[in-house]
Amino acid sequence: MKKNFNLIFIMLDSFRQDHIGVYRGGERVFERIKPCQTPHIDEFSQRCVIFENVYPCGLPTIPVRYELMTGQFSLPFREWCPLTPYDLTLAEILREYGYVNAFITDTYHFRAPGMNYHRGFHEIRWIQGQEYDPYRSSPLSRKKIENYVNQNYFNPPGNQKGIDWVRRVSQFLSNTENFKSEEDYFPYRVVEESIRWLRENRKYEKIFLWIDSFDPHEPWDPPPRFDTYTDPSYRGPRLILPMGGEAKSWASEEEINYIRGLYAGEASFVDFCLGRLFKVLEEEGYFEDSLIILTADHGHPLADHGKFLKGPDRMYNELLKIPFLVRLPGGENGGLKSDALIQFPDVLPTILEFLGLENNNIPLAGKSFLPVLKGDKEDHRKAVISGFKEGEERCIRNKEWSLIERAEGESELYHLKEDKKERKNLIKEFPEIARELSSCFGKIFRAKKEEKLGVQGQYEMSSAAIK
């Protein structure tokens, strides 16, 4: 096997698997929403190995990147935090073997104070202004906040802080107020910078490019040409950022469907931008000498089970099922589909083995699935687990069943092959299946509910003293 293949890793944030044509097939995700069109990803997938059951372990954004970049599990140990001096990343490993590495992203969390996930890269290109990035302080001049929130944002139900939500929307609007064309939007700029870097660095023998697009993460404000999934008769506010909690407590059915349409438009625009990238990868010959991986960190709940946004209590397909496409050099095994169960820590050791560097896999927690990628094996893991470290809920799955362990209330069991939308809880009918799934992972994977000591107690008693 040739050892000098390039590596191009394309990370999309919050891209649901069922909003990509090659995964969705002819099915409709929401009855009143036109299916999201992704022609460029669909065409790219024709020469890819298509994985159906690749899952994050620890959620969300930063724990996922940790797993992918280090080949270690984040869920039992780590929350949202920077790399330690003892972590070793893919970029740092490949750098030792002569790769020229670049990191191009608009995921502003990487630039947060103390964050260091760009470690090991020779070049970093930041695109600023996404989401709540404190990019522009100037007040809105052309846009009115009232056109982007409904009255419930100012007086939210429960304990939600509506005014803070309005400030977040205002920050994003300020960051994007001067956008004049599609070329100004974030995914377009991420792709253009990536294209520029790929062309400028083609002469190198081995390159590694990590492209990290924050879209289609919320807020969802697609360019007009891609805003075709919403009802044209809708006359309410442009709700680009939904709140958490039960959606029906703060939004009408019409508004819920409108938000879903905005998400589909954002996803479709990301696909359009990727089409430009794929074209250049082909023109420059990268399709022939590169390992290319396209994936997402997680999906996104669109009130499928009542709530928008990510959360520990929303461990369903809409959050957990992600695209995972691998294009081998020359399109080898293109069109092969795999339902093997894989977790994100398995990705790095697979990459290293493919590149002939598998003697670096010894200290990694993940397991290479290269035999599955090459078509020599059908299975990889018996079960997978996902969750937020700080949350008490866990989802444990195999190819057929999904168990959601609840800290409070009844746990849930779904038959994934017959109930893709996870509507019928079968926990009472099949308790033995739930017990078998639960036993696949030990207690260290479950969060412990900590006893609250009060402010003074936190200083006077160590956690070791608590029984």
The residue assigned the tokens 């609007």 is 173
| Low-confidence winner among 286-295, 316-325, 451-460 (lowest mean pLDDT) | 451-460
Task: Indicate the pLDDT class of residue 109, thresholds 50, 70 and 90.
Answer: very high
CB neighbours (10 Å) of residue 18? 22
Q: What is the pLDDT of residues 119-163, one digit of tens each?
A: 999 999 999 999 999 999 998 988 999 999 988 887 655 544 567
The candidate with the shortest Cα–Cα distance to 336, out of 50, 123, 81, 53, is 50
Predicted pLDDT of residue 76: 87
Q: What is the pLDDT of residues 405-449, one digit of tens each?
A: 998 889 999 999 999 999 999 999 999 999 999 999 999 998 766
d(CA 455, CA 322): 41
Which amino acid, one-letter code, is at 426? L
Predicted pLDDT of residue 3: 58
The candidate with the shortest Cα–Cα distance to 446, out of 374, 385, 362, is 385
Assigned token pair, 162: 């509506």
Predicted pLDDT of residue 407: 87
Predicted pLDDT of residue 26: 77
Complete domains list, the chain, with CATH: 6-384 (3.40.720.10), 391-465 (3.30.1120)
